[in-house]
């Protein structure tokens, strides 16, 4: 099958099999995403970030924890491309190793929070009645507190550390997903195909898993992608306050905290990790906008 015939087969307006329809939808989504240059830029940046995290031992020119007081607070140069910090540690190496911490935090929080929100939101919307009222009032209580303030309180109770920071961000991040999942569930729970499946003997669990959850997935993916930047900033905020990753582990927020004392005379110590946070956050926003165009064209048009 030639490339032209393959493309025509994928873009056929009358697919003959379910497999052809699914592959055609994926291909059309990819064409829409690829046409968004900013979304492609965000994807490229995030792919490079992932490769940087995976290849950190090979890419980092120095150890991220090795101290050399003779080279402390050196400006960017051919020897240290992004300069050194107050302990003589190479900033580029620490940023490269810190990308692992960033991806761990983002990946874990982005996995836990939407799942919790999906479960609570779909159960509330599908069950209705007092179940809906109780679950939504709990959600409202969490939404009443600023997320970062609540995360700070949880980390203070659990103790500083990257694992506790991830748990705090995940626990405080689920309410918006629950609200979104509930709205999606309310829109489809009385649909004809749900009633038909119920008449065929499908139970509530089967209806949720097989019919309601798939309808919520696309909106959840878009929301997660758009929330990634906020997760990174929240994690950096915890690190800046000393409640996230602990020394000597390289973490971008903690690096900014270490450099704030020297911000006027040795700007690169805080500016370089801040620039890394800015670039990655912007990339996630670009990616989220592209996914919204693909998965939620109506919302993207608005």
CA distance 275 to 272: 5
Overall domain count for the chain: 1
In a domain, 69, yes or no: no
In a domain, 234, yes or no: yes
> Helices 91-127 and 252-259: crossing angle, nearest 10°?
130
Task: With CA atoms as reference, report the closest residue to 232 among 279, 176, 198.
Answer: 279
In this prediction, residue 9 has a pLDDT band, given cuts at 50, 70 and 90, of confident
Task: With CA atoms as reference, report the closest residue to 155 among 86, 226, 253.
Answer: 253
In this prediction, residue 2 has a pLDDT band, given cuts at 50, 70 and 90, of very low
In a domain, 247, yes or no: yes
Enumerate residues 6+ apart whose C-beta is below 8 A from 27.
Answer: 7, 10, 11
Instruction: Express each pLDDT in 164-200 by its tens digit.
Output: 889 999 988 999 999 999 998 888 887 877 888 878 8
239: domain CATH number?
1.10.3720.10
Work out the mean pLDDT of the chain and round it to a whole number: 87
Give kind and range of the element (H or E) at residue 168: helix 162-173
**pLDDT over threshold 70, residue 4:** no
In a domain, 19, yes or no: no
In a domain, 12, yes or no: no
The angle at the Cα of 101, spanning 235 to 240, to the nearest 5 degrees, equals 35
Rg value, the chain, Cα: 23
Instruction: Express each pLDDT in 39-71 by its tens digit.
Output: 999 999 999 999 999 999 999 999 998 888 888
Task: With CA atoms as reference, report the closest residue to 252 among 237, 236, 232, 233.
Answer: 236
In a domain, 162, yes or no: yes
pTM of the model: 0.86
Instruction: Express each pLDDT in 191-212 by its tens digit.
Output: 877 888 878 877 778 888 888 8
In a domain, 207, yes or no: yes
4 against 11, higher pLDDT? 11
**pLDDT over threshold 60, residue 301:** no
Domain that residue 215 falls in: 41-55+80-301
**pLDDT over threshold 90, residue 158:** no
In this prediction, residue 298 has a pLDDT band, given cuts at 50, 70 and 90, of low
Task: With CA atoms as reference, report the closest residue to 168 among 239, 217, 225, 219.
Answer: 239
Per-residue pLDDT, 242: 85
Within 13 Å of residue 265, how many CA atoms lie on the same side as its CB? 6
Per-residue pLDDT, 284: 92
Instruction: Express each pLDDT in 280-295 by its tens digit.
Output: 999 999 998 888 888 7
Instruction: Express each pLDDT in 95-154 by its tens digit.
Output: 999 999 988 988 899 899 999 999 999 999 888 889 999 999 999 998 888 888 888 888
Instruction: Express each pLDDT in 231-279 by its tens digit.
Output: 898 888 888 888 888 888 888 999 999 888 888 889 999 999 999 999 9
CA distance 206 to 211: 8
In a domain, 20, yes or no: no
């Amino acid at each position: 099958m030639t490339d032209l015939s393959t493309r025509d087969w994928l873009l056929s307006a009358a697919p003959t099999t379910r497999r052809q329809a699914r592959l055609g939808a994926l291909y059309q989504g990819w064409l829409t995403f690829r046409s968004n240059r900013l979304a492609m830029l965000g994807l490229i940046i995030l792919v490079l970030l992932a490769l940087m995290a995976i290849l950190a031992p090979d890419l980092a020119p120095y150890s991220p924890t090795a101290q050399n007081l003779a080279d402390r607070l050196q400006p960017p140069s051919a020897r240290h491309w992004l300069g050194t910090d107050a302990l003589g540690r190479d900033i580029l190496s620490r940023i490269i190793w810190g990308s692992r911490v960033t991806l761990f935090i983002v990946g874990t929080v982005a996995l836990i929070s939407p799942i919790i929100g999906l479960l609570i939101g779909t159960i509330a919307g599908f069950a209705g009645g007092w179940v809906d009222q109780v679950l939504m009032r709990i959600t409202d209580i969490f939404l009443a507190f600023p997320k970062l303030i609540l995360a700070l309180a949880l980390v203070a109770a659990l103790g500083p550390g990257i694992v506790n920071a991830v748990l705090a961000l995940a626990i405080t991040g689920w309410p918006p997903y629950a609200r979104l999942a509930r709205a999606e569930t309310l829109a489809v729970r009385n649909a004809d195909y749900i009633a038909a499946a119920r008449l065929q003997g499908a139970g509530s669990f089967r209806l949720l898993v097989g019919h309601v959850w798939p309808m919520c997935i696309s909106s959840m993916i878009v929301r997660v992608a758009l929330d990634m930047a906020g997760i990174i900033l929240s994690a950096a905020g915890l690190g800046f306050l000393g409640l996230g990753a602990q020394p000597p582990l390289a973490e971008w927020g903690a690096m900014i905290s270490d450099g704030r004392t020297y911000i006027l005379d040795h700007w690169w110590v805080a500016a370089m990790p801040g620039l890394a946070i800015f670039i990655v956050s912007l990339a996630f926003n670009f990616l989220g906008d592209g996914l919204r165009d693909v998965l939620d064209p109506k919302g993207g048009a608005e």
